[in-house]
Amino acid sequence: MKQKIVKTLKFLAFLALGILLFWLVYKDQDVDRLKSVLKNDVNYWWVWLSLFFGLLSHISRTMRWNLMIEPLGKKPRLLNTFLAVMVGYLMNLVFPRMGEISRCGVLARYEKMSFTQLIGTVVVERIIDVIMLLILTVIVIVGQFGQVIQFLENNPDVKEKLNSVALSPWAVLSVVSVIIVLYLMRNKLLRSSLFEKVRGILIKFSEGVKSIKAMKNKWAFIAHSIFIWGMYYLMLYVVFFSFDFTSHLSMIAGLTTFVLGSYGMVAPVQGGIGAWHFMVVQALMVYGIDKADGMVFALLAHTSMTAMMIILGLISLLVLPFINRTKE
């Protein structure tokens, strides 16, 4: 009973945080203008193409997961794996990070597999996703450094605020204090449970990379990993063409927006609500897109992606028992 109460409170806390972030982003938005733009100024064919790319990424993720499961001596039905993946996405919208556990539970049940072993494959999968995001982050930093500098030059108020924070005596004092405290407490920190957790994560990270080298179809795995993130990127980028005010943006601008939005998805809120919108709006402002227009873009892109995951997730929940009824 106590555990259920804790889970419920966590769910409500994350949901409240997401709603708060969303409200902070959109509290000054002109609702009538927003409705008008979405009704009259959007080419929805690009949105449908975006969802098609999203579907391809989910199929590729399904195939990649099956490749990871193969060494376990099991070959689950591709349809079951796909439906489990979609249930996982749906559960992530209910409770952050719950999707990984949910999809493993679904596949373990219908394919009579070890839940623990499946969790291990998902850990490796998440490690690869982190690597892909870091690679894209480096590309954005190197490729768009000049754009960021130009943005600061064109927005002296933002530059002034950043300088005031960075050069503030309090900021310098805080950094120096933290360094001194860390140095004085280094031995205690090395024996702390937090350090052990970080160490454990790094060990798992290393083991995950090694497991890919030993994988039978490692090149197919790498190809799927690149394809998945390529489709994620295109899923966002093509929505640029839905609006006149973003249709001129370059592919690298799309990549920057995608990467920053991905970090918004890492926030502990359901579906990245609020956090994703904020990051995307800020990224678009770097390229001269008005904040109000950026908010319209973010709302459409996020809502369409989320709607697809909800619909496919609910269909998957309904279909799974039906297609596996002979196995029960």
C-alpha span between 8 and 268 (Å, rounded):
15
Output the CA torsion sign for 35, 36, 41, 43.
positive
> What tokens were used for 240?
């640029």
Residue 68 is predicted with a pLDDT of 85
pLDDT of residue 237: 96
Phi, psi of 243 (to 5 degrees): -120, 145
Q: Which of 278, 262, 324 is nearest to 112 (CA)?
A: 324
Secondary structure (H, E, C), 31-65: HHHHHHHHHHCCCHHHHHHHHHHHHHHHHHHHHHH
Q: What's the confidence (pLDDT) of residue 3?
A: 56
Percent of the chain with pLDDT over 70: 67
Which tens digit of pLDDT belongs to each residue from 82-117? 999 999 998 888 776 777 888 988 998 898 888 887
Q: What is the pLDDT of residues 152-185, one digit of tens each?
A: 566 565 556 556 655 566 556 666 676 776 666 6
CA distance 138 to 73: 37
12 token code pair: 């409500």
- Identity of the highest mean pLDDT range in 52-66, 128-142, 153-167, 216-230: 52-66
pTM as predicted: 0.78
pLDDT, one tens digit per residue, over 236-246 is 999 999 999 99
Q: Which residue has the higher pLDDT, 314 or 199?
A: 314
161 alpha-carbon distance from chain centroid: 29
pLDDT given for residue 87 in this prediction: 92
Q: What is the mean pLDDT of residues 113-133?
A: 84
Report CA-CA distances (Å) from 86 to 80, 91, 141, 254, 308.
10, 9, 32, 26, 10
Question: E-assigned strands of the chain?
Answer: none
Q: Are 221 and 67 in contact (CB under 8 A)?
A: yes
